[in-house]
Amino acid sequence: MQGKRPDLDQRIQNAVFGLPLVRPDEQHRCLGTFYERIELRISFAEALKYNCSGVLQRLLKENSKYQLLINGQLDMDIMGQYIQSAKQNGVLFAIRNSQYYRADSNSAAVILCADHALNRDTVDVLERYPQLNKDV
């Protein structure tokens, strides 16, 4: 009977506080995924200033097995463009709302990710596609 006590305590802790996360700070910054799974990341500042839908549309066509994660605090008009692109290309999308997902200018607004590690050197949209900065 004594051997079952720690297991019971752990189950109660999980029921009250939820399952523990692996690298929780990283998952909070990356809308619930891991950095190594990210193909493209668009911050709030970039989403509001630049039209990234062309770049994203191209990536969605090439990678229909990816998933699009959208921060629920993003402006509805902009969010709608990304949702429409995902639907047109048959890509799964999820709107993430949590107290842990921030909405400041450098926080992730949109993330295109895989279910496995991609290990991209650069995931930021402006670093990978500097021409967006010139189009404004």
Query: Would you say 66 and 114 are in contact if contact means Cβ atoms under 8 Å apart?
Result: yes
> Measured between alpha carbons, how far is 80 from 12 in angstroms, rounded to an integer?
40
- CATH number, position 40: 3.30.1330.30
Q: How confident is the model at residue 136 (pLDDT cuts 50, 70, 90)?
A: low
Mean pLDDT of all residues in the chain?
90
Residue 15 lies in a domain: no
Residue 5 lies in a domain: no
Residue 17 lies in a domain: no
- pLDDT tens digit string along 45-104? 999 999 999 999 999 999 999 999 999 999 999 999 999 999 999 999 999 998 888 899
Residue 44 lies in a domain: yes
Could you tell me the residue range of the domain that residue 44 belongs to?
32-135
Q: How many domains, the chain? A: 1
Q: How confident is the model at residue 31 (pLDDT cuts 50, 70, 90)?
A: very high
Residue 76 lies in a domain: yes
